[in-house]
């Protein structure tokens, strides 16, 4: 502090020798920095769930706090994008607000039978449970609202003298929310990767860190402090167990190696069989549901129709629940280290959840693109079963999001609370041994990633789905908070906040990359519906881009076509490769410096 005061006095003494301009610049810089700091502090008070997350961190440490921080995703930003650039410009002209109007381009070059689309919307007197079914399935009155793709049928909107190209805006907004999500995840992942590198030390430094810097000073609760003691003990035991396993692996004979590798091969075959069973079940359930569901409910009763429509969601949820339980049992037989056991089990669970969504989309595409007649081939898709296939895909995503929320709520109300009551008020030794359910951070975060992937895929087919996802996660936050504080206990196996955040963001990135595939195929490959939506006058959704470019001035067209040509792409790729190799070399140099500094430490 004495040195800082000396430097400050020295700087203030030198200010009088500066010119007036430099003195003003220095004063302005200090004032501006002070304003920014105060604004940043004010924004931190407006941060969503700030107080709740800090209280959770104080009672249970940073590992569980990282899960609740993870809930603050960008669904609200995606909703604002879709609402501002797609929904609002469609609604305003339809109601003639701000002296606006709209045009629906005539479908002159399309076969008449391809343009027939009669949404089932409720007409006349209907039973009250019909509205409940519509809310759960997205059919009936919801099908004709702005929630789904089929509502956006206008080709252009005029607001005063401004012409708004809705098909182009719809496509660009889709690219914008996917690109924004990618940038956000990469930015957060880089921060986590930096922290993860710090913790990737050798075992000697790992022991030093646990002994001298292992305590979490955010903890203020006595029971949480005892839990942290047990966590540190567990981490030290895990490190010792890993050292023991390394020694055991080094001492293995050829016979032992052959036995363990044969066992792992057999277990991986069982894992593949379980995955294949899940995928086939989802495929059959989706095909059966699409072929037998009734949107008007006249030919079969309400309960059976609802069950048939929700069959893919039920099968996917069962697969997401049963497969991880089997993997947890099998991993114990594979003789891996505890840390690797957790990572491998998580990766298998992630693969099940995300691959299930991929199988669902593949099942829908196989039904949409199956054409057996010339009339069907003229449309390019199965127009009889899917007159507006984008809306029906959106309904499947909507049902998955709603069913996922129902299952989270049901698990808390009908499993966690009764179990808490039994443990608290029943002295039976078996129940006391069974105890409270652990709050598994990994499992809960995987639920979020699964729901977020559904939102990314579904937003193209259901533009207001991010609003539903935002409300869902707002409620889920408080459900999980109540569950943690009152009905569950923290996991006995600790997870470091920095490493877990990085791992979860990497998995979220995988989910986003998975979302690119179905959305990209729908935009570029599958013919767009000719009976609904903004792209009904284009062969595919992507066709709106070259059509828009044709309306540009000739010089601008040449520039754009030049950028899209090989003459530009090849040099650009080479420059990118050179820049990438430069950064790889720079990273290698930094790594060597870090190793030298670590040796000195």
- The answer to whether 355 touches 274, Cβ cutoff 8 Å, is no
Q: Do 447 and 591 fall into the same domain?
A: no
d(CA 579, CA 92) in angstroms, rounded, equals 47
454 φ, ψ (degrees, to nearest 5): -60, -40
HEC letters along 408-461:
HHHHHHHHHHHHHHHHHHCCCHHHHHHCCEEECHHHHHHHHHHHHHHHHHHCCC
Contact (CB, 8 A) for 170 and 178: no
Shared-domain flag, residues 419 and 511: yes
Residues contacting 466, CB < 8 A, separation 6+: 75, 76, 78, 79, 82, 177, 455, 459
Element (H, E) at 473: helix 465-482
Please list, residue by residue across 475-486, b when 16 or more beta carbons sit within 10 angstroms of its beta carbon and e when fewer do: ebbebbbebbee
How many CB atoms sit inside 10 A of residue 166's CB?
A: 23
Residue 243 lies in a domain: no
> For 121-202, where are the alpha helices, taking DSSP H only?
128-137, 166-199
The verdict on 497 and 593 lying in the same domain is no
- Which of these, 437, 444, 406, 440, lies nearest to 422 by C-alpha position? 437
Please say which residue of 550, 577, 592 terminates a domain.
550
Nearest residue to 514 via CA among 462, 450, 600, 580: 450
**574 and 504 both lie in a single domain:** no
CA 217 to chain centre: 31
Q: Are 346 and 446 in contact (CB under 8 A)?
A: yes
* Same-domain status, 134 and 181: yes
Whole-Å CA distances, 393 to 76, 302, 433, 458: 22, 22, 46, 8
Q: Give the DSSP H or E segment for 488.
A: strand 488-490
Per the structure, the count of domains in the chain is: 2
Strand partners of residue 165? 156
Instruction: Give CA separation, 520 vs 153, 335, 542, in Å.
Output: 21, 41, 9
Question: How far apart are the C-alpha atoms of 357 and 313, rounded to whole Å?
Answer: 10
224 close to 61: Cβ distance less than 8 angstroms: yes
pLDDT per residue as tens digits for the range 298-335 = 444 667 777 888 888 889 888 888 888 888 888 888 87
DSSP 15: H
Give the C-alpha separation, 390 to 396, whole Å. 10
> Residue 595: which domain range?
565-600
Other C-beta atoms lying within 10 Å of the C-beta of residue 297: 22
Chain centroid offset of residue 52 CA = 23
Residues 349 and 457 placed together within one structural domain of the fold: yes
Q: Is residue 118 part of a domain?
A: yes
Query: Helix 441-458 to helix 338-368 angle, to the nearest 10 degrees?
Result: 20
Beta strands in 55-182 (DSSP E): 100-103, 156-159, 162-165
In a domain, 327, yes or no: yes
**Within this chain, do residues 540 and 583 fall inside the same structural domain, yes or no?**
no
H helix count then E strand count, the chain: 24, 5
312 and 208 in a single domain? The answer is: yes
Question: CA angle 520-526-531, nearest 5°?
Answer: 120
pLDDT at 297: 45
Specify the 3-state DSSP secondary structure of 535. Answer: coil
Question: Same domain, yes or no, for 578 and 542?
Answer: no
What is the distance between the alpha carbons of residues 263 and 257, in angstroms, rounded to a whole number?
10
| Cα distance from N-terminal residue to C-terminal residue, the chain | 25
What per-residue confidence (pLDDT) applies to 272? 92
Establish if 556 belongs to a structural domain.
no
* SS3 annotation, 270-290: HHHHHHHHHHHHHHHHHHHHH
Residue partners of 442: CB distance under 8 A and separation at least 6: 342, 346, 349, 495, 500
Contact 439, 491 (CB under 8 A): yes
Q: Domain for residue 560, yes or no?
A: no
* Spatial distance between the Cα atoms of 405 and 465, rounded to a whole number of angstroms: 13
pLDDT at 196: 59
Same domain, 412 and 506: yes
DSSP secondary structure of 224-260: HHHHHHHHHHHHHHHHHHHHHHHHHHHT--HHHHHHH
Q: Residue 332 domain-assigned?
A: yes
Are 576 and 520 in the same domain? Answer: no
User: Domain for residue 163, yes or no?
Assistant: yes
| Residue 401 shares a structural domain with residue 482 | yes
Name residues of the chain where pLDDT drops below 70. 16, 44-48, 54, 56-73, 96-109, 120-129, 191-205, 293-302, 338-339, 490-501
CA distance 67 to 214: 20
Of 572, 513, 520, 566, the residue nearest 541 (C-alpha): 520
Which residues fall within 8 angstroms of residue 113, CB to CB, at 6 or more apart? 375, 378, 379, 383
Q: Is 31 helix (H, G, I), strand (E, B) or coil?
A: helix
Is the pTM above the cut of 0.85?
no
Residue 237 placed within a domain? no
Alpha carbons 391 and 397: distance in angstroms, whole number: 10
In whole angstroms, what is the distance from residue 544 CA to residue 524 CA? 11
Condensed to tens digits (0 to 9), the pLDDT of residues 13-53 reads 777 677 777 777 877 888 888 888 888 777 766 666 777 77
């Amino acid at each position: 502090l004495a040195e800082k005061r000396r430097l400050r006095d020295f700087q203030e003494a030198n200010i009088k020798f500066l010119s007036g301009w430099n003195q003003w610049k220095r004063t302005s810089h200090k004032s501006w920095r002070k304003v920014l700091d105060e604004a940043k502090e004010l924004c931190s008070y407006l941060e969503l769930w700030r107080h709740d997350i800090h209280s959770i961190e104080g009672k249970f440490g940073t590992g569980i706090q990282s899960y609740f921080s993870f809930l603050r995703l960008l669904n609200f930003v995606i909703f604002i994008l879709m609402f501002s650039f797609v929904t609002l410009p469609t609604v305003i002209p339809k109601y003639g607000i701000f002296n606006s109007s709209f045009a629906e381009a005539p479908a002159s070059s399309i076969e008449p039978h391809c343009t027939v689309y009669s949404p089932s919307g409720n007409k006349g007197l209907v039973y009250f449970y019909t509205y409940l079914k519509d809310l759960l399935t997205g059919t009936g009155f919801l099908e004709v609202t702005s929630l789904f793709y089929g509502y956006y049928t206008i080709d252009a909107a005029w607001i005063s003298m401004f012409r708004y190209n809705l098909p182009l805006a719809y496509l660009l907004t889709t690219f914008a929310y996917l690109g924004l999500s990618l940038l956000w995840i990469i930015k957060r992942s880089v921060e986590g990767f930096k922290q993860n590198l710090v913790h990737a030390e050798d075992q000697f430094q790992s022991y030093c860190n646990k002994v001298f810097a292992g305590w979490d000073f955010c903890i203020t609760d006595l029971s949480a402090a005892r839990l942290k003691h047990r966590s540190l003990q567990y981490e030290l035991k895990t490190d010792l167990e890993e050292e023991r396993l390394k020694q055991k692996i080094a001492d293995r004979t050829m016979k032992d190696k052959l036995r363990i590798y044969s066992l792992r091969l057999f277990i991986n075959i069982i894992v593949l069989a379980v995955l294949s069973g899940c995928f086939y079940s989802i495929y059959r359930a989706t095909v059966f549901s699409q072929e037998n569901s009734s949107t008007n409910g006249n030919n079969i009763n309400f309960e059976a129709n609802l069950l048939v429509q929700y069959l893919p969601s039920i099968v996917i949820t069962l697969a997401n629940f049963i497969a991880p339980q089997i993997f947890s049992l099998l991993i114990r037989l594979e003789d891996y280290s505890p840390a690797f056991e957790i990572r491998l089990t998580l990766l298998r669970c992630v693969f099940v959840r995300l691959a299930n969504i991929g199988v669902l989309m593949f099942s829908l595409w196989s039904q949409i693109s199956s054409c057996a007649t010339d009339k069907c081939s003229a449309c390019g898709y199965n127009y009889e079963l899917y007159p507006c296939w984008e809306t029906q895909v959106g309904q499947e995503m909507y049902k998955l999001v709603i069913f996922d929320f129902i299952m989270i709520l049901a698990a808390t109300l009908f499993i966690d609370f009764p179990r808490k009551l039994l443990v608290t008020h029943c002295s039976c030794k078996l129940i006391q041994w069974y105890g409270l359910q652990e709050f598994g951070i990994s499992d809960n975060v995987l639920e979020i990633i699964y729901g977020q992937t559904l939102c990314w895929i579904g937003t193209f087919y259901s533009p207001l789905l991010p609003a539903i996802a935002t409300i869902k996660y707002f409620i889920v936050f408080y459900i999980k908070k109540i569950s943690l504080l009152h009905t569950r206990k923290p996991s006995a196996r600790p997870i470091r906040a920095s490493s877990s955040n990085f791992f979860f963001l990497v998995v979220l990135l995988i989910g986003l990359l998975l979302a690119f595939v179905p959305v990209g195929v729908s935009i570029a490959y599958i013919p767009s519906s000719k009976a609904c939506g903004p792209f009904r006058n284009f062969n595919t959704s992507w066709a709106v881009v070259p059509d828009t470019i044709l309306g540009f001035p000739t010089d601008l067209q040449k520039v754009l076509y030049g950028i899209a040509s090989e003459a530009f792409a090849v040099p650009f790729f080479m420059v990118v490769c050179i820049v990438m190799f430069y950064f790889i070399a720079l990273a290698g140099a930094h790594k060597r410096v870090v190793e030298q500094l670590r040796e000195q430490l």
